[in-house]
Amino acid sequence: MSAGNMNLTLKIWRQTGADDKGGIHTYEVSGISQDMSFLEMLDVLNEQLNELGEEPIAFDSDCREGICGMCSLMINGEAHGPEVTTTCQLHMRSFKDGDTITIEPWRSSAFPVIKDLCVDRSAFDRIIQSGGYISANTGSAPEANSVPVPRDNAVRAFNVATCIGCGACVAACPNGSASLFLGAKITHLGELPQGQPERWSRVVDMSAQHDHEGFGGCTNIGECTAACPKEIPLDVISQLNRDLRTAMKHGH
Amino acid sequence: MAISGLIFVGFVLGHMYGNLKAFSGHDAFNEYAHHLRELGEPMLPHEGFLWIMRAGLVIALVVHVACAIELARRARKARPVKYVVKKHTGAIPASRLMRWGGLAIFLFIVWHLINFTIGKVNPQGGPTDDPYNLLVDSFDVWWITLIYLAAMAMLGAHLHHGVWSALQTLGYTGTATSRARAKTIAFAIAILIAGGFSLVPIAVMTGIID
Amino acid sequence: MTDMPDTTLTSDRSHDEPSPGEYDDAAGYYTLGEPIADTKAPGGDIAERWQTRKFEARLVNPANRRKLSIIIVGTGLAGGAAAATLGEAGYHVKSFCYQDSPRRAHSIAAQGGINAAKNYKEDGDSVHRLFYDTVKGGDYRSRESNVYRLAEVSTNIIDQCVAQGVPFAREYGGLLDNRSFGGVQVSRTFYARGQTGQQLLIGAYQAMERQVKLGTVTEYTRHEMLEVIVVDGRARGIIARNMVTGEIETHLADVVVLASGGYGNVFYLSTNAMGSNVTAAWRAHRKGAYMANPCYTQIHPTCIPVSGDHQSKLTLMSESLRNDGRIWVPKKAEDCTKDPREIPEEDRDYYLERIYPSFGNLVPRDIASRQAKNMCDEGRGVGPMVGDFRRGVYLDFADAIARLGEDAVREKYDNLFDMYERITGDNPYEVPMRIYPAVHYVMGGLWVDYDLQSSIKGLFVTGEANFSDHGANRLGASALMQGLADGYFVLPHTIRDYLADGPFDPVAEDHPAVTEARAAVQDRIERFLAIKGNRSVDSFHRELGHIMWEYCGMERTAEGLRKAIDMIRELKREFWSDLKVLGTADSLNQSLEKAGRVADFIELGELMCIDALNRRESCGGHFRGESQTQDGEALRHDDEFAYVAAWEWAGDADSNEMGTPILHKEDLVYTAIEMKQRSYK
Ligand SMILES: Cc1cc2nc3c(=O)[nH]c(=O)nc-3n(C[C@H](O)[C@H](O)[C@H](O)COP(=O)(O)OP(=O)(O)OC[C@H]3O[C@@H](n4cnc5c(N)ncnc54)[C@H](O)[C@@H]3O)c2cc1C
Ligand code: HEM
Ligand code: HEM
Ligand code: SF4
Ligand code: F3S
Ligand code: FES
């Protein structure tokens, strides 16, 4: 692993605030090592900019472990870049010396740009507020083992509960749909016995909120699942559609 | 969307079956065209079935196009600012051709109806009251055949994504395996229909049918 | 663990080390204040105390709750669970976090699992054993009533989370699975593959979002708390900066809860999130809240080693890996550069199994970490040279894969192995992992009584931000337990006793206490921007981290600590004269945010060193070179240090002069458990 020897050209979207038009700026960075994470590479650039007296580029990240969902970035036209992982877990060994890398924020009217590469994803919180929970007041819970959950359901619920709410699915979808995120939550709660009582109202209310937030409709293109760092499968969207249909039948 | 789409699928399948009768010769085909019109009699008036079918198709078409336009509208609103660079990892080209492809198919149908049903134009000025001859005469003209083949390619693409999409929309793709199955079915139908339809014009061109 | 050989303490002064009484290492660095005590824990049988307290704590009738407002800073397990529960109870809750969504609090990163005394495995677990293990694991430096309560409510936590739809690992029969974890001999750790914290937090987050919809909770994301408002000795609100608009906002309430997490980032490199900070706690400290045992730091043994200077954070590999992985280094230094697979069995030193036969690779974190450091200091470390050492040891799964098969191992650790490969480029199914200790958790935090109330009336502190339950060292899977215990089951009961006196007289926006707090915040921000020096915030943070890791890390000595204090004071001077923060105050400005955090870390760092200097004993995560047995094991001095060190801010409110902090001692009395010198041999 050759250390500290990559030179890159970065084309980065800069935008001072919500009402600024914004545009692409071009920067050169040198001395990038293959062991750096993509965000550490941007840290290096920001140090350089700070030196030069140019305001550093704003981008989101927190855990830098691929679990909090705070980081984003459209990298060369792919959400979270070329690997199946989050931007913070993407490492520079996925790039070559001399590469030109274009970096843009998530693009969605439901995710307005705050500054540079930071967007506002509170639409996801509002989708959860509209029904993405199981109503169980503290203290009211029965003994945990009183309700066994068949292992297969438990496993499927877990596999889709791993969604980190990053929004890459929306960013990648040509329709700007959040169906994968929505389907993941519907499937997680729908697989569990505890999730049954609110199952039908949940899917109706959450879908309504999804559309209300201005996300596009799903036409099953599949770019979302390809971009998803947690590999949430397309069948959650199928599940979403099926639950929605059943709910309609039940007159919700 | 899915429903209307699948209605179309049903129709084109039937329609293709009809067309292939062209291989069994002049009379068989006309017999079929004629039969279409008597289907259901005496319960239904002459051409009754045909009209019911046409009505169905028109409704489906309205629904289908309406949905299509609505989806396209929402998609545009959902992403006002486009990406400078955007890859399409994970998508089959067909899936992103749906809107234009759909439009192309639409135009084709318009022309097609002029050609065969409503207008009954015979490019070679020959008789138009004889569907079989009309057909043969039409496809003897290379550019008409070309239009048709192009249209069939479009239709094939449309179905390659469309059928899978419909199954997914209807929720028949709950697991990885059923998802894979849906994709194969979609591909098969697309090939079958696009291929099936194309046979006739090609056959005519190459003189297998004359 | 009672069956283990426990040598009783202090009789063991086996070597020529004079009685510690003769020392006051920190003399001159602090002033001794009045002793303090927890006045809230009821006496009597320890098993009865919590029931008693719950009964004695006054009630607030539902009609009044609507009129009572609660500010909660933090949406992690501690804050999120509290917001949901207090919202359900009908109080008016305002919830703050600096991330763009409450769901991103750093609790999300917890991997291994959560403890609960369910005894589903019928392996002899019980509330009392969990209590015993936690006190012992904490090296007898925690408050016994708090710990007992923690063990007691642990079982309700699992019930609550399952009801919310947390997808815990299950057995084929559909019942909950659990495993043994981090230095205990019973299976009491519940887990959701390697993402337990994520699943628990999403559960709390969803419960909280439900309350948002119902209007009982209002959430303020991308808001950073920068001051506490104290009116007539009571915490009545906070000053927060809207990180998007830069607006300085005043938020008033009847009570304030800090659930702001740990301050491990004082070391710059840690397993904490980039934004984890001490600011919330430190601002409260400067307003009179005591900071307890700040030097108690947990250094986690199984992290991915540093690869270079660019490193921005360290990544933890769940300790559950130690259940199946075997830790070793080459016996001969010259083997350290070889391909580990080429090194024959007899040339490998499985040092933990050798030194601690009964616990082997499962010894507590502090021990595992220190031994790893010793091996590397001996020159037997592996991996790249960092500074003058190779900082890494092997964590080998070859045996586990042979024994259980690769699939079983994959099933258990898949995501961890993937993460490791992504970061290092090596495939742990083939090559042994390389691990090295990293700062992971802080046991220290704001001092609280049994009710979780700090030394400022009306300021409650929960989760990692308080000091209460883990003593000098935290057992694996106990922080999630504490966060949720505090949030779901403890605070909601104890806070009502305080709120029963409310609603308190409304505070006017122009009350001197408010305007003064606002001004303080504004001035600080303007100062950062006005310095216009040459060095970036990160460069100061990195330098502070080096100092702390070198002198206040895994092994601490009086000499090193004094040196560190001088260096930190110098760094502080430079910070306030040579800092360079670009951009403006009225927009998203990440350098500005960091500047405030680093300024507080610098002051905290100094206090940590003073605390470490004062505590001339080795206990749990705190190892003083001067206090060890002949074979290098930690040596406690209960006769002198069986107390909580609660530090009071002595500097004046808004200057940078720390003065000499005032030390208040809270003696630790154990009635339900006998103090033993910890031994894992
Ligand atoms: C990598 C890792 C793995 C771990 N694994 C385990 C494990 O397996 N088992 C276990 O028991 N424990 C584990 N821990 C420890 C445990 O996760 C934490 O101690 C615990 O989650 C802390 O929860 P908390 O609610 O107290 O704080 P956090 O979850 O850290 O939440 C802090 C909250 O405060 C907010 N905040 C902080 N400062 C401010 C401010 N100034 N203004 C506004 N908001 C602010 C943040 O936005 C956040 O919402 C792990 C920790 C780490 C880092
Ligand atoms: C090369 C392929 C095709 C051939 C040779 C063909 C031929 C014909 C003929 C001969 C008719 C007249 C039938 C009659 O009136 O008796 C007809 C009608 C029709 N075709 Fe096609 N067709 C083809 C492809 C298609 C396709 C792909 C579509 C739609 C996607 C289509 C839609 C129709 C419709 C809607 C009618 C009108 C039916 C009615 O209402 O009478 N055709 N076609
Ligand atoms: C008449 C003109 C037509 C137009 C304008 C049109 C347009 C579209 C559009 C835009 C979609 C939306 C799905 C997407 O955006 O990906 C679609 C879907 C579909 N179309 Fe068409 N189409 C037409 C004709 C047809 C025909 C003739 C068939 C079948 C032979 C067909 C079958 C389908 C199917 C199965 C779908 C998938 C429905 C779903 O997504 O659930 N369409 N069409
Ligand atoms: S579904 Fe995947 S891409 Fe979408 S938010 Fe969840 S994790 Fe991110
Ligand atoms: S890419 Fe978009 S169209 Fe549906 S399948 Fe995924 S959301
Ligand atoms: S920063 Fe947390 S997922 Fe990337």
Per-residue pLDDT, B33: 86
Listed residue (C413, C510, C471, C140) closest to C295, CA to CA: C471
What are the tokens at A122?
Answer: 């509170």
CA of C362 to the centre of ligand 1 (A): 24
User: How would residue C15 be classed by pLDDT, with cut points 50, 70 and 90?
Assistant: very low
C-beta separation of C330 from C349 below 8 A: yes
Quote the mean pLDDT of chain B.
89
In this complex, do A235 and B96 lie within 8 Å of one another by their Cβ atoms?
no
Most C CBs within 10 Å, among A133, A159, A209, to test the C interface: A133
Encode pLDDT of C205-246 as tens digits: 999 999 999 999 999 999 999 999 999 999 999 999 999 999
In this complex, do A56 and C168 lie within 8 Å of one another by their Cβ atoms?
no
Encode pLDDT of C247-296 as tens digits: 999 999 999 999 999 999 999 999 999 999 999 999 999 999 999 999 99
Say whether pLDDT at C613 is over 80: yes
Average pLDDT estimate for B148-159: 93
Measured CA distances, C480 to A68, A135, C162, C200, C274 (Å): 16, 22, 15, 8, 20
Per-residue pLDDT, C19: 52
Kindly list the partner chains of chain C, i.e. chains with 3 or more CB atom pairs below 8 Å.
A
Say whether pLDDT at C170 is over 90: yes
CA of A172 to the centre of ligand 5 (A): 8
Ligand 4: lining residues by beta carbon, under 6 Å: A 163-169, 180-181, 184, 228-230, 232
Per-residue pLDDT, C533: 97
Per-residue pLDDT, C633: 86
Active-site entry in C322, C365, C556, C562? C365
Say whether pLDDT at C14 is over 60: no
Cβ-based contacts of A89 with chain C (< 8 Å):
419, 422-423
In this complex, do A235 and B173 lie within 8 Å of one another by their Cβ atoms?
yes
- Give the closest-approach CA distance of B73 to chain A in angstroms: 9
Backbone angles phi, psi at A38, to 5 degrees: -60, -40
Cβ-based contacts of C103 with chain A (< 8 Å):
69, 125, 165
Encode pLDDT of C320-353 as tens digits: 888 899 999 999 999 999 999 999 999 999 999 9
Measured between CA atoms, the residue of chain A closest to residue C273 is A63
Listed residue (C619, C551, C643, C649) closest to C281, CA to CA: C649
Encode pLDDT of C81-103 as tens digits: 999 999 999 999 999 999 999 99
Quote the mean pLDDT of chain A.
96
Backbone angles phi, psi at A51, to 5 degrees: -50, -50
Encode pLDDT of C37-58 as tens digits: 999 999 999 999 999 999 999 9
pTM for the full model? 0.95
C-beta separation of C15 from C630 below 8 A: yes
Q: Identify the sign of the CA torsion C27, C29, C34, C35.
A: negative
C385 vs C484, residue with greater confidence = C484
Helix, strand, coil % in chain C, rounded to nearest 5: 40, 15, 45
Measured CA distances, C389 to C146, C298, C378, C392, C598 (Å): 41, 22, 9, 9, 28
Measured between CA atoms, the residue of chain C closest to residue A45 is C310
> Among A96-100, C487-491, C649-653, where is mean pLDDT lowest?
C649-653
- Scanning B30-89 for CB atoms below 8 A from A yields 70-71, 74-75, 77-89
Average pLDDT estimate for C654-661: 83
Most A CBs within 10 Å, among B71, B85, B181, to test the A interface: B85
In this complex, do A68 and C108 lie within 8 Å of one another by their Cβ atoms?
yes
Per-residue pLDDT, C654: 67
In this complex, do A174 and B96 lie within 8 Å of one another by their Cβ atoms?
yes
What H or E segment, with its residue span, contains residue C662?
strand C662-667
B175 vs C18, residue with greater confidence = B175
Q: Which residues pair with C112 in a beta bridge?
A: none
Rounded Cα distance between C480 and C78, Å, is 8
User: How would residue C12 be classed by pLDDT, with cut points 50, 70 and 90?
Assistant: very low
Ligand nearest to the CA of B4: 3
Encode pLDDT of A173-230 as tens digits: 999 999 999 999 999 999 999 999 999 999 999 999 999 999 999 999 999 999 999 9
Rounded Cα distance between C505 and C508, Å, is 9
Most C CBs within 10 Å, among A120, A138, A140, A232, to test the C interface: A138
- Order of strands, sheet of C223-231, starting from the edge strand that comes earlier in the sequence: C223-231, C234-242, C248-252
Ligand 5: lining residues by beta carbon, under 6 Å: A 173, 175, 177, 179-180, 218-224, 234, 237
User: How would residue C72 be classed by pLDDT, with cut points 50, 70 and 90?
Assistant: very high
Cβ-based contacts of A102 with chain B (< 8 Å):
84-85
Ligand nearest to the CA of A229: 4
Per-residue pLDDT, A47: 96
Instruction: Classify residue C458 as left (phi > 0), alpha (psi -120 to 50) or beta.
Output: left
What are the tokens at C368?
Answer: 């595992």
Ligand nearest to the CA of C249: 1
**Chain centroid offset of residue B22 CA:** 18
* Residue C365 a catalytic site member: yes
Q: What percent of chain C has pLDDT over 90?
A: 84
What are the tokens at C503?
Answer: 């609603």
Say whether pLDDT at B127 is over 80: no
- C-beta C264 within 6 A of ligand 1: no
Listed residue (C1, C25, C20) closest to C10, CA to CA: C20
Cβ-based contacts of A189 with chain C (< 8 Å):
165
Helix (H, G, I), strand (E, B) or coil at C449: coil
What are the tokens at C166?
Answer: 């947390």
Average pLDDT estimate for C411-440: 90
Q: Which amino acid is at A181?
A: F
Ligand 6: lining residues by beta carbon, under 6 Å: A 61-64, 66-71, 86, 88
Rounded Cα distance between C48 and B170, Å, is 58
- Give the closest-approach CA distance of C488 to chain A in angstroms: 7
Average pLDDT estimate for A19-26: 96
Per-residue pLDDT, C336: 92
* Closest Cβ opposite residue A69 in set C104, C172, C580: C104
Say whether pLDDT at B48 is over 50: yes
Per-residue pLDDT, C398: 94
In this complex, do C165 and A162 lie within 8 Å of one another by their Cβ atoms?
no
Quote the mean pLDDT of chain C.
93
Kindly list the partner chains of chain B, i.e. chains with 3 or more CB atom pairs below 8 Å.
A
Say whether pLDDT at B106 is over 80: yes
**Is B143 in CB contact (< 8 Å) with chain A?**
no
Half-sphere exposure of B210 (CA within 13 A, CB side): 6
Measured between CA atoms, the residue of chain B closest to residue A82 is B89
C304 vs B22, residue with greater confidence = C304
Listed residue (C673, C566, C629) closest to C148, CA to CA: C673
In this complex, do A241 and B77 lie within 8 Å of one another by their Cβ atoms?
no
Per-residue pLDDT, C607: 98
Per-residue pLDDT, A25: 98
Question: Using omega within 30 degrees of 0 as the cis cutoff, is the peptide bond preceding C492 cis?
Answer: no
In this complex, do B174 and A235 lie within 8 Å of one another by their Cβ atoms?
yes
CA of C46 to the centre of ligand 1 (A): 29
Average pLDDT estimate for C517-529: 96
User: How would residue B125 be classed by pLDDT, with cut points 50, 70 and 90?
Assistant: confident
- Counting CB pairs under 8 A, whether chains A and C reach 3 or more, is yes
Instruction: Classify residue A90 as left (phi > 0), alpha (psi -120 to 50) or beta.
Output: beta
